[in-house]
Structure 1
Amino acid sequence: MSRADPQARSLTPSQQAALRHVRAQAILDGPNALAALRERVGKTGAGQAALDEALLSLRDHARVVVQFHPDRLTRAGESVADNLLRDGRYRNQFETGISNGGLSAFEGGERDLWEAGLFGGAYQARRVTAAERPKYGALDFLRYGDGPAPRFGSCYLILRPAIADRCSLTVGDSHRPIAHVGVRDAMEGILLGLVDAVGSGEWDLGRQDLAMPGLAVPSLLDRLSRTLGPILPDPARRPPGRLLDHYIEAKIHGPIDLRTDVDLLVADPCFQGTPTGERLRAACSSYGVAVSGHCGFVLAADSVDGEFRGPAMPALARRIAKDGFIDAAVIGAAAASLNRHPELWRDRGTYEETLQHLKQLWHVLVHKGHPAMAAET
């Protein structure tokens, strides 16, 4: 563990056990993963030096990020922004009841079962509390302005480099079958999974990036070496990646405290001048975190069709639109209304169905939305 991480020495036995379990698997798989990497990269024409540089950059400079919607309400009726302002602590989905993926973070739920397999049952031991569970984020290996996993939130926290020492990694979402896992000092399997996904065409990481369309394996390795470094670029000057389905998932074991663990909050510009935005700024001011923004997304409700995320999207977009447009704050206001006044939404179906549709509408906004602010490369 890095001495620069003040939380590392306070990890609970369950958190330490979870990290040991993943690290042991990553180290065991490392030699075979590295051999497979060298073979695959060699077939693309990229040199071994390019592979070594990319692996080093990924290990030393890729930051862990947690993405979130600041206006979503916890089971206690507080927003995420309220919680951050109150005590500076970022909470996991077992504590908040919020999930921007599946709603299964409870004992015996699907998330609980996935974590049991992934972490060797560490979090199913007796007397493990909800607060001990990992937080979910993503490894920012391309540094797009909207973050490495915008699927999970319009805003994000960039964690300090040392926090990566207590993170475990998977390529893609951990609810799917896992071929490779990794930790900071054993990243070979993670890069292998990334190279395989890009090389097979399964992941098109350059779809929205005019500076790097159709990212192939040699250009991916070059991009990792050139983009990743010790100095963070200004997210407001970076283009969006719109990576809804393709990310390296990070599980952060132990606390995330604004005072000690976070370098930067990056917010969607739609929250400027709103109560949510004011709470975020107040939290960052109170706990010593810098604030930036990204380009954000806005979309005319009339341009939402049913081709992406299903036929329920057009009517929902028109219903919640403000002045004919949707953005992250508009969707968040609808989610808060659903939480507080579910009776107003019964004409659309069950609470769970409407909540899922609002999540999917956010995906539509990320996929098709126009930048609310111009970004520069």
Structure 2
Amino acid sequence: MSSATSQTPQERALRHVTELASGPPMDPTLRVTLNFHPDRLLHGKPILDAMAEGGVYHSQFVTGTSNGGLTAHPGGDRWRWESRIFAGAYDEAPAHERPVYGALNFRRKPVGGAPRFGSAHFRLTAQTLTRTTFCYPDSFLEPSDFGVAARMGLLDLTLADRQDELDDYIEAQVHGSVRLQCAVEALVLDPCYRGTAVEDAALRLGCPVEWHPGFRLGVEELRRHPGYRGQEYVDLGSQIAVDGVLDPGIVGDAARAGVYDSQAIKKVWHYLARFGSPWKATDSSVTPAPREGTVLDGLR
């Protein structure tokens, strides 16, 4: 049996992307974050309750849900993108062995690296960096630029680009199980969930819980941006607002009500994530990459 065939799908995927990557090692204090909506339902059950039962963060191949597109099935777009990026390493792998998706929080945003996918995020440990691959731009755009912790030329590429704030992220693919009690530094929540069932469920996960500054958008400001996603989503946001304000909990209530189109609610969330955060990205928040040989020496 050859060494290639004896490797796991994760090992084959990591090896392939490492060969494609270039550049200096990344700052080891940077973290990968997994953004998601903490108040949504997973097959009828609150998502944090489902996570607490299994203790693992799963990919959409397992859950059948996503805050982006739902194409995680054989022959679907997500399956095809993974086959392309990882040279077929996961083509025959069971769903639970596939990677989970997040973002490298290279701008050190308190709301996570990719808030377009949710108001909450799991901040992963430094140890997970050695089993994570990266690409820019998002994998659905079929990128040709890749990175790993030891070879992270993507930072310079990203900083030279100018994207809308919700598109300003380096996609991360974490290979191997993401167990909440050992792979997560903290679950970081919006303060609108303090004292709610979401906080109660979060405290049962077995990982630390922290709070970021929060998303909050007034209807007056919302109405100033009809061209961002469309007037119909401004109107919907104005309709579901409570006392003239949107926050993640209000948008989550509307999502769970089952009255509104899920894609329309997603566009309302984009408005809140884009214009309702007190934090704005700046290049000065990015720490330069260290010199070769000073940190991470490669993938283990």
1:269 alignment counterpart = 191
SS at structure 2 position matched to 1:61 = coil
Shift of 1:18: 1.4
1:43 match? none
Between structure 1 and structure 2, the one with the greater Rg is 1
Partner of 1:356: 263
- Aligned residue number for residue 259 of structure 1: 181
Q: Distance in 2 between matches of 1:170 and 1:179?
A: 8
Q: 1:96, 1:323 → 2: CA distance?
A: 35
Is the 2:32–2:113 contact (alpha carbons within 8 Å) kept by the matching residues of 1? Answer: no
- What's the counterpart of residue 313 of structure 1? 233
Change (3 A) 1:265 1:370: closer
The CA RMSD measured in Å over matched residues stands at 2.0
The amino acid of 1:193's aligned partner reads L
Contact 2:137 / 2:171 at 8 angstroms: preserved in 1?
A: yes
Q: TM-score when scaled to structure 1? A: 0.68
One-letter code of the match for 2:8? P
Query: Aligned partners of 2:159, 2:262: CA distance in 1, in Å?
Result: 35
Say which of 48, 67, 71 aligns to 1:81.
48
Decide which of 143, 160, 176 is 1:196's aligned counterpart. Answer: 160
Q: Is the 8 A contact 1:72 1:98 kept in 2?
A: no
How big is each residue's C-alpha offset from its partner over 1:313-332, in whole Å with a ceiling of 9 and x where there is no partner? 12211332223321111111
- 1:301 and 2:206 correspond: no
Indicate the residue corresponding to 2:293 in structure 1: none
How many Å separate the matches in 1 of 2:250 and 2:278? 15
Larger RCO (CA under 8 A, 6+ residues apart) = 2
Structure with greater helix share of residues: 1
> Which residue of the other structure, out of 8, 11, 16, is the alignment partner of 1:13?
8
Amino acid at match of 1:311: Q
The residue number in structure 1 matching 2:295 is none
Cross-structure match for 1:102: 69
Question: Could you tell me which of 34, 57, 67 is aligned with 1:66?
Answer: 34
Residue type at the aligned position of 2:160: D
Amino acid corresponding to residue 165 of structure 1 in structure 2: T
Find the aligned partners of 1:368 and 1:121 in 2 and give their Cα distance.
Answer: 39
Q: Which protein has the bigger strand share?
A: 2
Deviations 1:268-298 (A, max 9, x none): 1111111112101222xxx2x2221111111
SS of alignment partner, residue 110 of structure 2: coil
1:297, 1:366 within 8 Å by CA — same for their partners in 2?
Answer: yes
Which residue of structure 2 lines up, in the alignment, with residue 233 of structure 1?
Answer: none
- Note the residue ranges of structure 2 that are not aligned, 5 or more in a row: 1-6, 280-284, 286-300
Q: CA deviation at 1:177?
A: 3.1
Q: Which residue of 2 aligns with 1:369?
A: 276
Counterpart for residue 242 of structure 2:
322
Q: CA deviation at 1:79?
A: 2.5
Aligned pairs (5 A) from 1:129-168: 129-168=94-133
Encode CA deviations 1:138-176: one digit per residue, 9 max, x unaligned.
111121211111111101111110101110001221111
Helix, strand or coil at the partner of 1:114: helix
Report how far residue 192 of structure 1 moved: 3.8
Report if aligned partners of 1:134, 1:253 keep a CA contact under 8 Å in 2.
yes
- Which deviations, in whole Å up to 9, do the C-alpha atoms of 1:19-71 show, x marking residues without a partner? 12111222xxx3xxx5xxxxxxxxxxxxxxxxxxxx45x24221111111111
Aligned residues: 272
How many Å separate the matches in 2 of 1:370 and 1:177? 29
What is the alpha-carbon distance in structure 2 between the residues aligned to residue 370 and residue 20 of structure 1? 38
**For the residues of structure 2 that align with 1:148 and 1:370, how far apart are their CA atoms?**
13
Residue 172 of structure 2 corresponds to 250
Tell me the distance in 2 between the aligned counterparts of 1:191 and 1:277: 34
SS of equivalent residue, structure 1 residue 137: strand
